[in-house]
Amino acid sequence: MTWLNNKWMRAAVPALLIHCSIGTVYCWSTFKEAIATKIGMSTFAVGWAFSLAIFFLGMSAAFAGRMVERDIKKSSLIACLCFTAGMIGTGLSIQFLTGPLALVCILLSYGCIMGIGLGIGYLTPVKTLMLWFDKRKGLATGISIMGFGLAKAIATPIMEALQNSFGISAMFYILGAVYFAMMMLGHFLIKKPEGWVEPADVKGSFHVLSMFKDPVYVGIWIMFFLNIHCGLALITYEKQIVRTAFAASSAATIAALVSIVPSVTAAFNALGRIGYSTISDGMKDRDTVYKIIFTSSVVITAIALATFAITNGPKSLIFGIIVIALLLIVNAGYGGGFSTLPALLQARFGMDKISKIHGLTLSAWAVAGLTGNNMSEIILESTNMKYDYILIATLVLYLVALFISVQIVAASKRTTKFV
């Protein structure tokens, strides 16, 4: 069937099917309170399931690069089975268990098993897309990773409707079945271009330590980590931040904003993924996108802090509007950082081992998954719920990331081979 053998059916469509499924991990705030109530545990304790999911995402991607390089069929199947098994396991834990035992089972199902599926599934389509879209690598990775960001906007209202109609456990069963079908279809469709053969030295010739000795790679890793860390620090608390920013508004206004903001920010997250990566195709240096991301984040965060100081924050409608703008810009930059990363790594280090290099770099995501939202939690507990201190912390870290982008990552235009 010749109509199947093209870049859309063999790369773009399966990538979207896989990433639109696993990207629903970012819908966590939609149901975490319902889970906590159902099993009788605190939202803070339950929140570790999300942290573990991101940690195992990054670490499984870091260690799965070799398998993805050799056999994307195997990796896409494992991703499907682990992700959907994690969802079903979470539903079973919620339905039949309570208290600490339920929490442990949720941590294992949602955090560990599903997290492994997330990492392998996230990595699987990327190189295939870059091979099929050889001249538009940024667009290619943007298509796939946009699906990961768009999943939240698509799935959030569906999850809320399923919870209201069938309950929290049934929601996981239904979505587990739907995502199994989607990811299996992606598994059957995905295929590298005819004639592409992996280099003979793929196995056993890749040394991790040599990468962490290179200042450019270390700079990219830290820069990527800081973008995720700051993004999670704000994104995971966006509902609470909006409530605080509009504290002087009516209860109806606050409720309306809180209900709509997650979908709007998710849309900007997805637009950032496709927009920044596509723009990078026309730039001489892919790192320029990161300069734009960090500069815009620094500027809007500084404006938000200045407005808070001048207008006394929650009593000012202007501050609330700027906070919304802050969340939109941060979400766009957060998504753009992910989608531009593979093309930046390819530009610096070549195509041969891109899955391994990309996977290893995603370990930064694993660490940020443990530090980002927990930094906000610690700040809020130690400052009596003062959200402006989160903005101060993220502003400093965005400045560090901008410095690294300008002084380290952009300092070398060579392609390095790690052997």
Last residue of a domain, one of 147, 176, 197: 197
- Specify whether 104 is located in the same domain as 169: yes
- pLDDT of 357 over the 70 cut: yes
For the beta carbon of residue 231, count every other beta carbon within 10 angstroms.
22
- Specify whether 208 is located in the same domain as 125: no
pTM attached to this predicted model:
0.85
Of all helices (H) and strands (E), which one includes residue 103?
helix 99-106
- pLDDT of 83 over the 60 cut: yes
The per-residue pLDDT of the chain, averaged, comes to 89
Residue 16 lies in a domain: yes
- pLDDT of 325 over the 80 cut: yes
The percent of residues above 90 in pLDDT, for the chain, comes to 55
- Which pLDDT belongs to residue 201? 52
Residue 419 lies in a domain: no
- Specify whether 68 is located in the same domain as 132: yes
- Specify whether 363 is located in the same domain as 229: yes
- Specify whether 213 is located in the same domain as 119: no
The predicted-structure confidence for 14-37, as pLDDT tens digits, reads as follows 999 999 999 999 888 789 989 999
Residue 179 lies in a domain: yes
- Residue 53 makes CB contacts below 8 A (sequence gap 6+) with 25, 28, 110, 111, 114, 115, 118, 369
Residue 36 lies in a domain: yes
Q: 418 in helix, strand or coil?
A: coil
Label residues 115-136 b or e (16+ Cβ within 10 Å = b).
Answer: bbbbbbbbbbbbbbbbbbbeeb
Last residue of a domain, one of 165, 197, 229: 197
- Specify whether 9 is located in the same domain as 136: yes
Calculate Rg over the CA atoms of the chain: 21
- pLDDT of 120 over the 70 cut: yes
The predicted-structure confidence for 249-305, as pLDDT tens digits, reads as follows 888 888 888 888 877 888 898 899 989 998 988 898 999 999 999 999 999 999 999
- Which pLDDT belongs to residue 412? 57
Residue 287 lies in a domain: yes
AA identity, residue 360: L
- Specify whether 97 is located in the same domain as 225: no
- Specify whether 90 is located in the same domain as 187: yes
Residue 125 lies in a domain: yes
- Specify whether 50 is located in the same domain as 91: yes
Please give the residue range of the domain that contains residue 238.
199-414
Q: What CATH number should be reported for the domain holding residue 120?
A: 1.20.1250.20
Last residue of a domain, one of 197, 232, 266: 197
- Specify whether 302 is located in the same domain as 371: yes
- Specify whether 142 is located in the same domain as 205: no
- Into how many domains does the chain fold? 2
What's the DSSP call for residue 202?
Answer: T
Residue 2 lies in a domain: yes
Most confident of 133-142, 297-306, 307-316: 297-306
On whether the CB atoms of residues 77 and 185 are closer than 8 A, the answer is no
- Specify whether 374 is located in the same domain as 226: yes
